Amino acid sequence: MDDDGPNSRAELLERVEKQLVALYLWRWQWQARSGNHVESDAGNTPQLNGRAAEALGSIGTSRQSGRLRLGKFALATELMLYNATLMWLIALYWKIDPVSASARIEACADAAMPDEPATNYLSFEPLRRPGGAVTVRDPAMEICRVFEWVTHHHCRSKEPSFLYLFPMGVAMSVLEAEPETKAWATSLLNISPITANYAHGQNAAGFGFYVTPEALHPEKVVAKEQLFSAQHMQQLAV
């Protein structure tokens, strides 16, 4: 692999980090502007058992406390697209540099944190704060949680369906190994004829290529060497 050329690992990592910091900064700004329009309804979300509950991780704690409630559909679209973009950047980072991805993703979150004292009192509940997770599963679950709200209010939505479908397709790509969680997400898609059977047996925009065991389970799978081959680097440069 070329570590010094124009498409070196170092340059790609720098580009990913720049985008990740910008995305996290946008999320802070979004929370300050619209965070008070997101709440949760206690006791309205069915509990999941078995591996699904474990798969929810820390997101599961929030989700089990209630179903999300958003003030308007534009917020749902923004949150879902944010999390889909976050999944791409996190997965790409784990693919390029699995050895130090966790620490560097957290460093990006620290770099994006605003300096204003008011941010010390800014709550992100019931959502995930920037840098709150380094795995692709957590943003995938947040996409599904937001889409759960969309499905119960879809008749009043004027947003194009594809704005929801692409994030759900990306999220479904990481749920293949979690049967109960995938079944729950599939049931949400099947509520509407427009979204029924979407992403069934598909790999949204080739996202699965970037999802590694480290990106899914960084707390269990520890990388000892780089995974990205020279051929992969060339594909990214095209």
Query: Going along 21-92, which residue ranges are E strands?
Result: 38-41, 67-70
SS3 assignment, position 68: strand
What's the number of domains the chain is made of?
Answer: 1
Is 101 within the bounds of a domain? yes
Distance CA 105, CA 215 (A): 11
More confident call, 59 vs 200: 200
Question: How many CA within 13 A on the CB side of residue 216?
Answer: 17
- The residue-averaged pLDDT of 162-191 equals 89
Residue with tokens 């969680």: 181
User: Cβ of 209: how many Cβ atoms within 10 Å?
Assistant: 13
Whole-model pTM over 0.85: no
Q: Residue 141: what pLDDT?
A: 95
Q: Is the pLDDT of residue 53 over 70?
A: no
Domain residue limits at 105: 9-237
| 4 occurs within a structural domain | no
Q: Quick one: which of 146, 133, 140 has its CA closest to 34?
A: 146
In a domain, 44, yes or no: yes
The lowest-confidence range among 2-11, 59-68, 150-159, 186-195 is 59-68
Residue 3 lies in a domain: no
Residue 36 lies in a domain: yes
Residue 179: which residues within 8 A CB-CB, separation 6 or more?
Answer: 51, 52
Res. 41: pLDDT tops 50: yes
In a domain, residue 2? The reply is no
3-state secondary structure of 39: strand
pLDDT tens, position by position, 113-123: 998 887 778 89
Residue 218 domain-assigned (yes or no): yes
